Amino acid sequence: MTKRSRGRPRDESVDTAVVEAAVAEIAEKGLTAATMEAIAARAGVGRATLYRRWPNKSALLYFCADQLAEVIQPADTGDLRKDLLTVFEPLAELSYGDGPLALLAPTFIAAAAHDEQMRAFVADNVLSRRSGAVVALRRARRRGELRQGVNVNLTVDMIAGALSDRAYLLGKPVTSAYVRSVIDQVIAGIVTERGS
């Protein structure tokens, strides 16, 4: 039984509104220019309410990241290409598209550069998103579809790297077509002649 405290219960809708507001502000103006004041105003909330729920701006940032993180469940279709698409197409949509996470990611990257905790958080998150791809590739290897000497982790790094690079460094949209072309080229390089 959850301990029910005495007074007025917290408005649960506030969390959602704040995260949404925070992400929007940060995406538009950057972390520094995104004022707690502005976030509160955009969420239709007082500044004190923010500080009652999160001790500081960083904590709010972490919370936003947590809220936005969703685990991508890979299907086991028996077909490597399909499996990889199942992993990377939603990931592209989520992390490199127009979604809230995509907008925050650059901020996280910058924060990770001089914040140990953020570094761990980002790495953890990134790895868990890609884990499906690793599983899919291992299944393919077990089915004997992979060439000799193919490094599974490296392969995933290259696919994901091409996508994140395009999004964060080149600033170009990561379309579904681009994801497919990356995966196709990778598969062409790693599967045996018989495969496909």
Q: Which residues of the shown chain bind DNA in the complex (CB under 7 A)? A: 4-11, 14, 34-37, 44-49, 51-53, 55-58
Q: How far is the CB of 1 from a copy of itself (least distance, A)?
A: 26
Q: How many CB atoms lie within 10 A of CB 142?
A: 9
Burial letters 73-96, b for 16+ CB under 10 A, else e? ebeeeeebbebbbbbbbbbbbbbb
From the centroid of its chain, how far is CA 140?
25
Q: How far is the CB of 142 from a copy of itself (least distance, A)?
A: 19
Of 43 and 118, CB closest to a copy of itself = 118
Of 76 and 124, CB closest to a copy of itself = 124
Residue 46 site contact among DNA, a copy of itself, none (CB < 5 to 8 Å, cut-off depends on kind): DNA
Any idea what DSSP says for residue 144? Answer: T
Q: How many residues does the chain have?
A: 196
Please choose, from the candidates 139, 119, 130, the residue with its C-alpha nearest in 3D space to the C-alpha of residue 159. 130
Of 5 and 73, CB closest to DNA = 5
Of 36 and 150, CB closest to DNA = 36
Task: Transcribe 14-42 into DSSP letters.
Answer: HHHHHHHHHHHHHHHH-TTTS-HHHHHHH
Return residues touching a copy of itself (CB under 8 A).
27-33, 103, 106-107, 109-115, 119-120, 122-123, 126-127, 147, 149-151, 154-155, 157-166, 168-172, 181-182, 185-186, 188-190
Task: Compute and round to an integer the Cα radius of gyration of the chain.
Answer: 20
Residue 55 site contact among a copy of itself, DNA, none (CB < 5 to 8 Å, cut-off depends on kind): DNA
Residue 14 site contact among a copy of itself, DNA, none (CB < 5 to 8 Å, cut-off depends on kind): DNA
Residue 18 site contact among a copy of itself, DNA, none (CB < 5 to 8 Å, cut-off depends on kind): none
Two structure tokens written together for 88: 């990377």
CA distance linking residue 99 with residue 136, whole number of Å? 25
